[in-house]
Chain A
């Protein structure tokens, strides 16, 4: 992989089990074959990201935005809503003004 990371940093390898677990959490259906192909790809990417860790950034404040903007805040005024038709328009199923989904109950 040509990765020259600091030997003291250990990185968990991205294996097929990890890929399947993350896919499961993200509700993405993948086959064993796909997981087998994706695992080394992701592992590679993680390796590249890990390389960034070689640079000492301990004295650098994290960059939170590429432009020096402050988070804009909004006044507490009702300016939206009342658009039920639009909200429900794309729902596979809507009844009596509700989204209707397969029964989920604990």
Chain B
């Protein structure tokens, strides 16, 4: 990937990007209360008196939320802090009944880690880049405000209030919109593998605060702006493109960048200043007196580590090294945990006669093609890994040809029947019965005596014609290798 530059009137500018990703922790109950976290419930029905900040209510942390944040930290090679603490971040807003958010400023649960990103998803040879993660801390989400339901009122739903978030803070290590996009995608993949966040950006399970500054290459960091709550990979990239260009324009026309909070407008693709928040940056953090420090013992950490699945990078390396897949195929099959699980179940079902390469090619071209056509995710695939394995086995042992395999797969998609049953019921079994094939060859040669003469006179290319005619006569069920051999024999005698 060539270096990303903004071409200004005064020369080229480099963009410096850091991301703070808020990821909703997968848990049944909230971070500090026993209310449910499920998405889409009736307003204010998943709110305890703790979440509504009634006087005298005390927060008690949910062990699972802590565990998931620790597992996430371990998955990015981060230092886990066995001693951490919760702080109050004080500000007033209608979606925050406590008047403060319980967060971790001074002593976060997870320290420095790193995430390896591919510099070009489509080209595995383009290499990777390590993006530093500064920290991960655990904090409460706020409630939800609705402004369009009433002319003069805003409506507040506290169902989300108190749901556990991980704030994953990167270092300012990214230098282009593409790198930032790759970082968010990779982080999402890791979170989904670990199972600590569902990564559903549409439902707000992952949102990013995008820090952008520009500088002349080699200069010190410029002043940054922070664009809040950007909720898709595409919008993160658009935010950076717009914001970097805006900053270059300001600087080149003699202005200065103000460190400020901005909002992204997805309809217009622009960012704009949130002037009202200027005063809100003084959060007057202090340790939450309702909560003792969080101390984790070795047994807890060991369980967290032992429960981690094989992670995307390790899996991709194994697919390349042990299974012999191409870097591209390995990357595609490991990009989503669901895909990798499906593929591995397929390999198990197919058995040793089917090569990993053949299975990978089939998943990526045939299965993905079909799923794409019917608009379904791999989790909702109408064909199961066991059924896929059966089909691949039939192709591998020569029962059906590749071409017939594709037809059988189409029938499987339509009917849900198994490959063997389809082959059996429709008589699609490929034959290596030399007698039957020889009989058809004799008929083909007799019906095309002129072409036989041409072939024998030196027109080698006609061989393909005879293969085609024979296969047609055999209704596609003849083993192509056997047909080739027998035809050669018949024509060359």
Residues of B within 8 A of A79 (CB): 29, 34
Residues of A within 8 A of B36 (CB): 78, 81
Residues of B within 8 A of A102 (CB): 152-154
Most buried by B among A83, A87, A93: A87
CA distance A78 to B293 in the complex (A): 24
Is A52 interfacial (CB 8 A cutoff)?
no
Contact B292 A100 (CB under 8 A): no
Most buried by B among A83, A99, A103: A99
Q: C-beta contact mask, B19-51 vs A, less than 8 Å → 1, else 0? A: 000000001110001111000001111111110
Contact of B63 among A74, A84, A95 (CB under 8 A): A74
Is B130 interfacial (CB 8 A cutoff)?
no
Contact B64 A76 (CB under 8 A): yes
CA distance A79 to B65 in the complex (A): 16
Q: C-beta contact mask, A73-106 vs B, less than 8 Å → 1, else 0? A: 1111111111110111000010111111111111
Is B52 interfacial (CB 8 A cutoff)?
yes
| Tier of interface size on chain A | 35 or more
Q: Assess A76 versus B44: contact at CB under 8 Å? Given A71-B291, A87-B52, A98-B155.
A: no
Contact A95 B153 (CB under 8 A): yes
Report the count of interface residues on B (CB-CB < 8 A).
53
Contact A25 B90 (CB under 8 A): yes
Contact B63 A73 (CB under 8 A): yes
Residues of A within 8 A of B63 (CB): 73-76
Is B279 interfacial (CB 8 A cutoff)?
yes
Contact B42 A97 (CB under 8 A): yes
How far in angstroms is the closest Cβ of chain B from A39?
18
Q: Assess A101 versus B154: contact at CB under 8 Å? Given A75-B63, A77-B34, A81-B47.
A: yes
Residues of B within 8 A of A95 (CB): 150, 153, 155
Contact A71 B42 (CB under 8 A): no
Is B276 interfacial (CB 8 A cutoff)?
yes
How far in angstroms is the closest Cβ of chain A from B423?
48
Residues of A within 8 A of B279 (CB): 24-25
Q: Assess A74 versus B152: contact at CB under 8 Å? Given A96-B43, A104-B93, A104-B145.
A: no
Contact A100 B282 (CB under 8 A): no
Residues of B within 8 A of A100 (CB): 150, 153-156
Residues of B within 8 A of A88 (CB): 44
How far in angstroms is the closest Cβ of chain B from A103?
5
CA distance A65 to B85 in the complex (A): 12
How far in angstroms is the closest Cβ of chain B from A36?
22
How far in angstroms is the closest Cβ of chain B from A56?
22
CA distance A83 to B292 in the complex (A): 28
How far in angstroms is the closest Cβ of chain A from B49?
7
How far in angstroms is the closest Cβ of chain A from B57?
10
Contact A25 B293 (CB under 8 A): no
Is B60 interfacial (CB 8 A cutoff)?
yes
CA distance A89 to B29 in the complex (A): 23
Is A9 interfacial (CB 8 A cutoff)?
no
How far in angstroms is the closest Cβ of chain B from A82?
6
Contact A77 B29 (CB under 8 A): yes
Residues of A within 8 A of B64 (CB): 75-76
Q: Assess A101 versus B150: contact at CB under 8 Å? Given A64-B292, A81-B48, A96-B155.
A: no
Contact B29 A87 (CB under 8 A): no
Contact B153 A80 (CB under 8 A): no
Q: Nearest A residue to B146 by beta-carbon distance? A: A98
Contact A83 B49 (CB under 8 A): yes
Contact B282 A74 (CB under 8 A): no
Is B142 interfacial (CB 8 A cutoff)?
no
Which 3 residue pairs across A and B have the least CB separation, nearest first?
A79-B34, A76-B64, A81-B35
Q: Told that A84-B47, A97-B43 touch, could you supply 7 new A-B pairs with CB distance under 8 A?
A: A25-B282, A26-B90, A71-B293, A75-B64, A80-B34, A96-B43, A103-B150
- Can you give 25 A-B contacts (C-beta < 8 A)? A24-B279, A64-B287, A71-B292, A71-B293, A71-B295, A73-B63, A75-B62, A76-B27, A77-B34, A78-B28, A78-B35, A79-B29, A79-B34, A81-B36, A98-B43, A98-B44, A98-B155, A98-B156, A99-B44, A100-B155, A100-B156, A101-B94, A103-B153, A104-B145, A105-B147
